Amino acid sequence: MIVPLALGSAGVVLSQIGCSTSGGENIDVTIVDFDGAGRKLGRAVHKKVVRSDGDWRRQLTPAQYWSARRGSTDTPFTGTYYQLETAGVFRCVCCGNALFSSSTKFDSGTGWPSFSAPVAAENIRTQTDNSLSMERVEVLCRLCDAHLGHVFDDGPPPTGLRYCINESALRFIPIPS
């Protein structure tokens, strides 16, 4: 069972996230930054977050590691985010990059958190996934390449998309009231 993650601080500052020196650390990535209250700050260039496998294992819980770093899939209907109706931002569990907003979250009936759009297109990337003897579109964090889930074309208007995301790859930050 996946349980909600505790946070020490609602504010996430991406520039304070350390990168390893195991290759790829000099790659610049442009994303859209958001503050701890979910306000868009604008486009910014960051160094790609690169860590060794051992560092990821130490930083993440086993469920987070297997989902975000190894591409595993959470068991549906075992988390809490798919039912969550609180206003906030869903960030990458690995690097803190803002990924999805509760304003685009919807109940897909699948048992996974589902969104009609990312919080900013620049903050994610997609690639073809041919695993499980089928072709799907994998969704990854642009800043650290964490596996987030998949996107399908059976979502609600206006996008018609359903970003089906693993809860263990996310950290929810409620918007202060």
The residues assigned a catalytic role are 164
Q: In the structure encoding, which two tokens stand for residue 66, read together?
A: 């297997």
> Is the peptide bond prior to 158 cis by the omega test (within 30 degrees of 0)?
yes
Distance, CA of 102 to chain centre: 13
CA-derived radius of gyration, the chain: 15
Residue reference for tokens 């996107």: 151
User: Which strands form 170-174's sheet, in the order they lie side by side?
Assistant: 98-101, 88-92, 170-174
User: H helices of 10-164, where?
Assistant: 53-59, 62-64
Measured CA to CA, the distance from residue 97 to residue 52 in angstroms comes to 19
Measured CA to CA, the distance from residue 100 to residue 53 in angstroms comes to 26
SS3 96: coil
